Amino acid sequence: MARAGSAGKAGESMADEPSTNGEKKGLAALVEEAREDAKVLKEKAKEEVETLKQPQKTQLYKSIFRVKHDDSERSRALGVLSNVFFHLHPAKINRDAVRYAYTWGMGGITFYLFLVLTLTGVLLMFYYHPTKGQAYRDIIYLMNDVPFGRLLRNMHRWAAHLMVIAVWLHMFRVFLTGSYKKPREFNWCVGVVLLVLTLLLSFTGYLLPDDQLGFWAVTVGTNMANATPILGAGGPFGMQLGLTNYNDVRFALLGGSIVDANALLRAYIWHCLAIPIIASVLMGLHFWRVRKDGGISGPAPVMLESEIKPERKI
């Protein structure tokens, strides 16, 4: 507006006037100005404190979480889909599939125990040397001197046992609900491999404390390898094929003919590195297939005998 413009001009000239008059008035003006600035700053600070009460609106929050976190349908879906850890889930699922009664939560519990084992296992690795003599001392040290070391070791041990139980029960429920049927045949097979890996993880870990329990358990276990037909010195056709205790499959597993330093190192590497990596990859595959096979198999509407469709021949 033209008037506002001229009024501004007038105000300016008025303000300019005193400044030409003397030092004192100038100081007052400066104080006034500073006070004015402080007031603006205070307003700003107040505003910012207000926004802190709503952290979801901050740039920091938005940069990390990307979506709003309110009660709307869209945000709930996006909250799941746009989070790398949660996006294993679909945004929505069959309303009855969330019932505990159907899955018993066993697959999820197995996975959670695997995560617990990874965490406690890595912490244990900070205190453990896979060498004869030192290994056993490390465990003693861990149990008696390391802060929370005993709890750590116990948790790792019992979580491993629980995982074995959970994976068996998971398989049992998958069988009972017929969830291996078309189109989930392959995921069942992936599951079987995961089952074997779970047992092998537990088994290789058994040797690591280097005590009598582990030593004899692994001795009993690997003696079986010695009895493998064709590949083991003690098995059928082993001797005829020229196998001895020093070139058969048990030797390959143990790095020797008895459970000793090499076996300890090999068990350590299988246990801490190789099998966890393989199992992680297969778990990724397993979860991906659950989604791609159409999500969890049920609880599906029951089908009647009269509704069986004639099979399709290839």
Partner 1 sequence: MDWHQLWEIVSAPDNVPIVALLFFVPFYAWYGFRQARENDRLIGQLEADPQLAKTHHRKIFPWKPGWTKEVHTWPYLMRIEFLAAIIVTVLLIVWSLTLNAPLEELANPNLTMNPAKAPWYFLGLQEMLVYFDPWIAGVVMPSLIIVGLMVIPYIDVNPLGAGYYTWKQRKFSIATFAFGFIVLWLVMVVIGTFIRGPGWMWFWPGQTWDPSKVVFEPNRDLPDIFHITSMLGKGIFGAVAMGIYTMAAWYGIHKLITATPFNRKIYARMSFIQYITMQTFLVLMLLLPIKILIRHLFRIKYIWITPWFNV
Residue 180 touches ligand HEM, criterion: CB under 6 A: yes
* Nearer Cβ to partner 1 (61/86): 86
Residue 150 tokens, joined: 């005993």
What whole-number distance in Å separates Cα of residue 134 and Cα of residue 40?
A: 67
Pick from 28, 52, 192, 258: which binds ligand HEM (CB under 6 A)? 192
Closest distance to ligand HEM from the beta carbon of 159 (Å): 13
Angle made by CA atoms 296, 297, 303, in degrees to the nearest 5:
155
Residue 107 near which of partner 1, ligand HEM, none (CB within 5-8 Å, type-dependent):
ligand HEM
Give residue 32's Cα distance to chain centre: 59
What whole-number distance in Å separates Cα of residue 96 and Cα of residue 76?
A: 19
Residue 256 near which of partner 1, ligand HEM, none (CB within 5-8 Å, type-dependent):
none
Pick from 93, 125, 273, 281: which binds partner 1 (CB under 8 A)? 93
CB burial of residue 263 (10 Å; 0-12, 13-18, 19+): buried
Q: Which residues inside 193-232 make contact with ligand HEM, applying CB under 6 A? A: 194-195, 198
* Nearer Cβ to ligand HEM (177/219): 177
* Nearer Cβ to ligand HEM (103/222): 103
| DSSP category for residue 246 | T
Pick from 120, 138, 187, 238: which binds ligand HEM (CB under 6 A)? 187
26-31 contact pairs (CB < 8 A, 24+): none
Residue 270 touches partner 1, criterion: CB under 8 A: no
* Nearer Cβ to ligand HEM (118/262): 118
Who's near 121: CB < 8 A, 6+ residues apart? 156, 272, 276
Residue 110 touches ligand HEM, criterion: CB under 6 A: yes
Residues 42, 35: contact at Cβ < 8 Å? Answer: no
Angle made by CA atoms 232, 234, 236, in degrees to the nearest 5:
80
Pick from 27, 52, 258, 277: which binds partner 1 (CB under 8 A)? 258
- Binding region for ligand HEM (CB under 6 A) out of 12-20, 28-36, 68-76, 169-177: 169-177
How many residues touch ligand HEM (CB under 6 A)?
A: 26
How many residues touch partner 1 (CB under 8 A)?
A: 107
Residue 312 touches partner 1, criterion: CB under 8 A: no
Pick from 184, 250, 266, 271: which binds ligand HEM (CB under 6 A)? 184
Closest distance to ligand HEM from the beta carbon of 176 (Å): 10
Residue 11 touches ligand HEM, criterion: CB under 6 A: no
The beta strands (E) that lie in 240-287 are given as none
Neighbours of 303 (CB within 10 A): 9
What whole-number distance in Å separates Cα of residue 221 and Cα of residue 241?
A: 23
CB burial of residue 243 (10 Å; 0-12, 13-18, 19+): buried
**Contact positions toward ligand HEM, by CB under 6 A?**
103, 106-108, 110-111, 114, 167, 170-171, 174, 179-180, 184, 187-188, 191-192, 194-195, 198, 283, 286, 290, 296-297
